[in-house]
Amino acid sequence: MKKSYKIDVDCANCANKMEIAACKTPGVASATVNFMMLKMNVEFEDGHDPKSVMEQVRKNCKRVEDDCEIYI
Amino acid sequence: MSRRQKKMLIRIIIAAVLLISLNFIPVDGWLRFVLYMAAYLVIGYDILIKAGKGIKNRQIFDESFLMAIATIGAIGLAIYDKSGDYTEAIAVMLFYQIGEWFQSYAVGKSRRNISELMDIRPDYANLVRDGAIERVDPDEVEIGGTIVVNPGEKVPIDGVIIEGTSSLNTSALTGESLPRDAKAGDEIISGCINMSGVLKIKTTKEFGESTVSKILDLVENASSRKSRSENFISKFARVYTPAVCAGAVLLAVVPPIVRLFAIGIQADWEIWIYRALTFLVASCPCALVISIPLSFFAGIGGASKEGVLVKGSNYLETLSQTKIVVFDKTGTLTRGVFEVNGIHHSQMENEKLLEYAALAESASSHPISRSLQRAYGKEIDRDRVDDIHEISGNGVMARVDGVQIAVGNDKLMTLLGIEYIPCHSVGTIIHIAIDGKYAGHIVISDIVKPQSKEAVAALKNAGIQKTVMLTGDTASVAEKVAGELGIDLVYSQLLPVDKVEKVEELIRSKTDKAKLAFVGDGINDAPVLSRADIGIAMGAMGSDAAIEAADVVLMDDDPMKISKAIKISKKCLGIVYQNIVFAIGIKLICLLLVAMGLAGMWLAIFADVGVMIIAVLNAIRALFVKKI
């Protein structure tokens, strides 16, 4: 399943870091961050609940870039 | 300006005023330290907090950390030297924040500019409900609903016009500024702007499935498909930051130790530590990381404004490396509409022959039948025709005005045992026999688009080495069209499967670096579109299949757009390479100068902020592709 989320982040490098952090989160098959559109597209692995996975993604992103937000 | 940007701007101004006025206040000792620290904290407190959080989260190589270390280091040195020169630390932080502020402003601004450029999203639809017109969200309109579009409004949903005539401005979709006429019965696609009359439209799609939503979705997601250049940059940034930090540590430690122990002179620790800090400030990879995606984003945005939809940064990159362009003939270089070119050996008046042919074919919807009906030009009285038999692949037999008419190709004539006169003209030949006797033939052919010749020449100008045409048509037709247009290579009489094979053959015979683009109308060439390095579908306005299958979608069917798309991609990639070389080059030179002690903190700030600003401004150039 694929979903798109609005994000808020200030610098392009930070967006890249968020992308890496999101990809490493369990339950995420792949994730891309589009800095220009301020969007994160996430593809979930089967059998995972997107909502709880995204909570974790947000936590991991905050860890690498404190100044970011994902609107779940 | 966002709230955050405003707040930052106020902090920048306060800190700048403080810093300047402190230079005129003669204070010493602790008071001096406290006053300067106040200015430092005003401008840099958030950086310090972020650096602290970074350390806690083991993200020690980020920018905030670098800035915190560099400025705290500079302050430490000032205390150690007892020079009381805190100005530099604050100035560095100040300029860093100005740079960040500018970056956020410039990126936000260009993001808005590009989004506005692509703003074809309709805000509302005028739905007719129980006889009254209601303004609703386009999402709420169901298939089959009736909507009204007033002059000056955007068509929100795809549909069919049921009432009214008007002219439509399709420039937001196709880049074509000539208005298009629309009348009752015509299909209409969303995103056009209604210019003159009120139109009543019966919707045929939901908003989410309408052309305008599809296009927006496609362009917005395009920058998620990253190009090789972008991947290179993110990999580069991942290695670069730790490498630079290691370099800074070495710069701080190695030279003093060498001086002290190997040469036996003073270590000058503070000079080397200061250089290392400057080195860190100069090292920020932001210019690269921001300007490359921004260039692609601007390029894709600019292209979409011209009616060229590129589905991803990676495709824009491939497009710029295209050396071979393969065309499908029908619908791409030619109009895909047949026209009567000549009537030969007719035993009666030409018009009469055409009338018989058109009547006999009146029940068929084949393009050839339709072109005969069109050439006849008069209302067809179906009562005059009966007893119609269609012989698939050969032609039609019917009784018209009581006489037996056979209309078809050579095979039909042979089948019926009628002797026919072969034609030496190029085109599709339709023989007609009346009551079993040969009555002449009609030559029809597809018409080459008026811009095709120019388009092929423009491709050559854009650096295309080879143009190839594939067609299912006969060799004579293919050769004639290719000769007229200046196409290098022709393959004719191909079935759809053969086209895939030919493209594969061409891909095998070229080098890996030269890319092959296939241009088709997207109707029955989806396999070829996906097999080519890059598939370009043209005349795709309203055709879902084409938008689905291709990598690049040309919204109208003007072949000139192919060379335009290639030129846009080249310009964009040119800017990308400029930025890569410029940002990395300047950065390395600055780092070297700093390491050698030839440049101070000011140059370091330029290397960080200045390069970034120049790269961002350069990236924005990719947006301007109108006159290319």
pLDDT digits (tens, 9 = 90+) for B417-432: 888 888 877 777 889 9
What torsion, rounded to 10 degrees, do the Cα atoms B541, B543, B297, B232 define?
A: -140
Give the residue from B561, B149, B12 showing the smallest Cα distance to B325. B561
Q: Which of A19, A36, A69 to mutate to test the interface with B (most CBs of B within 10 A)?
A: A36
Phi, psi of B378 (to 5 degrees): -110, 165
Position A58 pLDDT exceeds 60: yes
Mean pLDDT rounded to a whole number for chain A: 85
- Contact list in B for residue A5 (CB cut-off 8 A) is none
Encoded tokens for B10? 């106020």
Residues pairing with B322 in the sheet: B515
pLDDT digits (tens, 9 = 90+) for B449-470: 889 999 999 999 999 999 999 9
Percentage of chain B surpassing pLDDT 90? 18
Cβ contacts of B244-247, under 8 Å, gap ≥ 24: B244/B279, B244/B280, B244/B283, B244/B591, B245/B61, B245/B66, B245/B280, B247/B279, B247/B591, B247/B595
- Contact list in A for residue B100 (CB cut-off 8 A) is 10-11
Is B551 a known active-site residue? no
HSE-up (13 A, CA, CB side) for residue B352: 10
Lowest mean pLDDT among B115-124, B160-169, B432-441: B115-124
Minimum CA–CA partner of B64 in chain A: A65
Residues on chain B bordering chain A, Cβ-to-Cβ distance under 8 angstroms: 50, 53-54, 57, 59, 62-63, 100, 103-104, 107, 111, 114, 220-221, 223-224, 226, 234, 237, 285-286, 289-290, 293-294, 297
Q: pLDDT: is B41 or B59 the higher one? A: B41
pLDDT digits (tens, 9 = 90+) for B491-528: 988 877 788 899 999 999 988 889 999 998 766 677 88
pTM for this prediction: 0.77
Size of interface A-B (CB pairs under 8 A): 61
User: For residue A14, how many other CB atoms are within 10 A of its CB?
Assistant: 22
Residue B351's pLDDT band (boundaries 50, 70, 90)? Answer: confident
Q: How many domains does chain A have?
A: 1
Position B615 pLDDT exceeds 60: yes
Please check whether residue B277 is in contact with residue B599, taking contact to mean a CB–CB distance below 8 angstroms: no
Fill in the DSSP letter of residue B442. Answer: E
Q: How far apart are CA B40 and CA B33, in angstroms?
A: 10
Instruction: Locate the domains of chain B by residue range.
Output: 1-117, 125-220, 223-321+514-628, 335-448
Q: How far apart are CA B7 and CA B12, in angstroms?
A: 9
ipTM given for this complex: 0.75
Beta strands in B32-129 (DSSP E): 125-129
Residue with tokens 């439209």: B201
Mean pLDDT rounded to a whole number for chain B: 84
What is the fold of B125-220?
2.70.150
- Contact list in A for residue B290 (CB cut-off 8 A) is 11-13, 35
Q: In this structure, is the dihedral angle defined by the CA atoms of residues B300, B304, B306 and B308, taken in order, positive or negative? A: positive
Nearest by CB to A37, which of B53, B62, B223?
A: B223
Nearest by CB to B289, which of A13, A34, A67?
A: A13
Q: How far apart are CA B603 and CA B575, in angstroms?
A: 24
Q: Which of B289, B300, B576, B608 to mutate to test the interface with A (most CBs of A within 10 A)?
A: B289
Sheet of B132-136: strands edge to edge? B132-136, B125-129, B146-149, B199-203, B159-163, B187-188
List B328, B551, B557, B608, catalytic entry: B328
> What's at A32, amino acid-wise?
T
- Contact list in A for residue B286 (CB cut-off 8 A) is 11-13
H/E segment holding residue B455: helix B452-461
HSE-up (13 A, CA, CB side) for residue B128: 14
Nearest by CB to A64, which of B59, B107, B221?
A: B59
Q: How far apart are CA B314 and CA B222, in angstroms?
A: 9
Q: What distances in angstroms separate CA B105 from CA B3, B507, B614, one per listed residue?
A: 12, 45, 14
Q: Sort strands B166-169 and B193-194 into parallel, antiparallel or unpaired.
A: antiparallel
With CB atoms and an 8 Å threshold, state whether B290 touches A36: no
Residue B315's pLDDT band (boundaries 50, 70, 90)? Answer: very high
The stretch B562-591 carries a mean pLDDT of: 92
With CB atoms and an 8 Å threshold, state whether A36 touches B294: yes
Q: How far apart are CA B283 and CA B587, in angstroms?
A: 7
Minimum CA–CA partner of A38 in chain B: B111
Give the residue numbers spanning the domain of A21.
Answer: 2-71
With CB atoms and an 8 Å threshold, state whether A41 touches B234: no
Minimum CA–CA partner of A30 in chain B: B224
Q: Given this model, what pLDDT does residue B148 score?
A: 92
Give the residue from B618, B62, B225, B297 showing the smallest Cα distance to A13. B62
Beta strands in B285-355 (DSSP E): 308-310, 322-328, 334-344
**Residue B462 distance to chain A (closest CA, Å):** 29
Please check whether residue B328 is in contact with residue B432, taking contact to mean a CB–CB distance below 8 angstroms: no
**Residue B20 distance to chain A (closest CA, Å):** 29
- Contact list in A for residue B297 (CB cut-off 8 A) is 36
- Contact list in B for residue A63 (CB cut-off 8 A) is 57, 59
**Most distant CA pair in chain B, distance:** 120
Nearest by CB to B285, which of A13, A34, A37?
A: A13
Q: Given this model, what pLDDT does residue A8 score?
A: 85
Nearest by CB to B50, which of A12, A34, A67?
A: A67
CATH superfamily, domain at B335-448: Calcium-transporting ATPase, cytoplasmic domain N (3.40.1110.10)
With CB atoms and an 8 Å threshold, state whether A35 touches B293: yes
